[in-house]
Structure 1
Amino acid sequence: MVEHRPVGNLLTHVLLMLGVAMVLLPVYVAIIASTQGPGELMRGGLPLLPGGHALENYRLMWQSGLSSSSAPAAGKMLWNSLIMALAITVGKLAISLLSAFAIVYFRFRFRLFFFWLIFITLMLPVEVRIIPTFRVVADLGMLNSFAGLSIPLIASATATFLFRQFFMTVPEEMLEAARVDGAGPMKFFRDILLPLSITNIAALFVIMFIYGWNQYLWPLLITTDPEYYTIVMGIQTMINSEGYVPWHLVMAAVVMATLPPVLVVLFMQRLFVKGLTETEK
Structure 2
Amino acid sequence: MVERRPALTLLSHLILVLGVLIVAFPLYIAFVASTQTAAEIVQSPMSLTPGAHLVDNYSAALFGSSGAGSKAPVGQMMWISFVSAMVIAVGKIAISLLSAFAIVYFRFPARNFFFWAIFVTLMLPVEVRIGPTYQVVSDLKMLNTYAGLTVPLIASATATFLFRQFFLTVPDELVEASRIDGAGPMKFFRDVLLPLSRTSIAALFVIQFIYGWNQYLWPLLVTTDEQMYPVVIGIKRMISGGDAANDWNVIMATAMLAMIPPALVVVLMQRWFVKGLVDAEK
Shared fold (TM-score, shorter chain, > 0.5) = yes
User: Could you tell me how far 1:68 is from its partner in structure 2?
Assistant: 1.5
Whether the 8 Å contact between 2:30 and 2:252 is mirrored in structure 1 is yes
Q: Distance in 1 between matches of 2:161 and 2:183?
A: 26
Q: Matched residue of 2:195: which SS? A: helix
Q: Distance in 1 between matches of 2:72 and 2:228?
A: 9
- The code of the aligned residue for 1:250 comes to I
Q: Matched residue of 2:245: which SS? A: coil
Question: 1:11-160 residue pairs with structure 2 within 5 A?
Answer: 11-160=11-160
Match of 1:252 in 2: 253
Identity across the alignment (%): 60
Q: Distance in 2 between matches of 1:151 and 1:201?
A: 20
Match of 1:235 in 2: 235
Q: Distance in 2 between matches of 1:248 and 1:267?
A: 29
Alpha-carbon spacing, 1:155–1:44, altered in 2? closer, same or farther (3 Å): same
RMSD over aligned Cα atoms: 1.3
Q: Distance in 1 between matches of 2:99 and 2:3?
A: 49
Q: Deviations 1:206-234 (Å, cap 9, x if unpaired)? A: 00000000000100011111111011001
Is 2:175 aligned against 1:175? yes
Q: Distance in 2 between matches of 1:93 and 1:58?
A: 35
Q: Distance in 1 between matches of 2:9 and 2:127?
A: 44
Q: Distance in 2 between matches of 1:96 and 1:126?
A: 18
User: Could you tell me how far 1:20 is from its partner in structure 2?
Assistant: 0.8
Whether the 8 Å contact between 1:66 and 1:72 is mirrored in structure 2 is no
Match of 2:211 in 1: 211
User: Could you tell me how far 1:129 is from its partner in structure 2?
Assistant: 0.8
Q: Distance in 2 between matches of 1:69 and 1:43?
A: 21
Q: Deviations 1:32-70 (Å, cap 9, x if unpaired)? A: 111112411122122222211111111111011344123
Match of 2:268 in 1: 267
User: Could you tell me how far 1:77 is from its partner in structure 2?
Assistant: 0.7
- The code of the aligned residue for 1:148 comes to G
- The code of the aligned residue for 2:93 comes to L
Q: Distance in 2 between matches of 1:67 and 1:244?
A: 8
TM-score by length of 2: 0.96
Structure 1 unaligned regions, length at least 5: none
Alpha-carbon spacing, 1:204–1:280, altered in 2? closer, same or farther (3 Å): same
User: Could you tell me how far 1:141 is from its partner in structure 2?
Assistant: 1.1
- The code of the aligned residue for 2:217 comes to L
- The code of the aligned residue for 1:9 comes to T
User: Could you tell me how far 1:71 is from its partner in structure 2?
Assistant: 4.3
Match of 2:200 in 1: 200
Q: Distance in 2 between matches of 1:38 and 1:86?
A: 34
Whether the 8 Å contact between 2:34 and 2:249 is mirrored in structure 1 is yes
Q: Deviations 1:110-131 (Å, cap 9, x if unpaired)? A: 1111101100000112222111
Q: Distance in 1 between matches of 2:25 and 2:113?
A: 48
Runs of 4+ in 1 over 6 A off after TM superposition: none
* Alignment length (residue pairs): 281
Q: Distance in 2 between matches of 1:234 and 1:6?
A: 49
TM-score by length of 1: 0.96
Whether the 8 Å contact between 2:67 and 2:246 is mirrored in structure 1 is no
Q: Matched residue of 2:89: which SS? A: helix
Q: Distance in 2 between matches of 1:224 and 1:71?
A: 14
Whether the 8 Å contact between 1:238 and 1:245 is mirrored in structure 2 is yes
Q: Deviations 1:156-175 (Å, cap 9, x if unpaired)? A: 00000000111111111111
